[in-house]
Amino acid sequence: MATKTADWAALVKAEIEPDNQPQDVFPIDRYDEPYVDADGNPAVIRVLGEYSDALKAFDRQMTIKDAENGGGPQTDEEKEQRASERCAAATTGWNIAIGGKEIPFSKENAATLYTNGVWIRTQVYIRMQKRKRFLPVKSSA
């Protein structure tokens, strides 16, 4: 018996749904030392997966913006900014301090952090791409 469209569409959506659950990134600096919060605890950045609703919405907005402006980012600076904004769109929160100073979370602060700290952005990007981290663990029983 053929599966109804609504049935298989629901199954596909269920496969993507874990990307909407934030996962933790424990960032390290350029010298492989962990970042910490103001209390000395390991810093954490919470990010959504590549197929999350937030990133799909960001990508749609950028497609519209690019169409209206006659194309996407052209210069290296524009490409770097777009990458930082995309990672910021996937970031849902954090607990991080730089130089002992707590950085309050906002999408704008995230984009700034990722623009100025490319090594942090790279760690966030890698976590976004690792779908296995977003999938529920299957029991062996």
**What is the residue extent of each domain of the chain?**
18-134
Tokens, residue 116:
């100025």
Amino acid at the residue 103: I
The one-character DSSP state at 91 is E
> Model pTM?
0.79
The predicted structure's pLDDT at residue 74: 82
DSSP 112-125: HHHHH-HHHHHHHH
The predicted structure's pLDDT at residue 70: 86
Q: What is the rounded radius of gyration, in angstroms, for the C-alpha atoms of the chain?
A: 18
Closest alpha carbon to 113 in 84, 136, 76: 84
pLDDT averaged over 10-residue windows placed end to end, the chain, 141 residues: 62 68 89 88 93 92 90 87 96 91 95 94 91 52 50
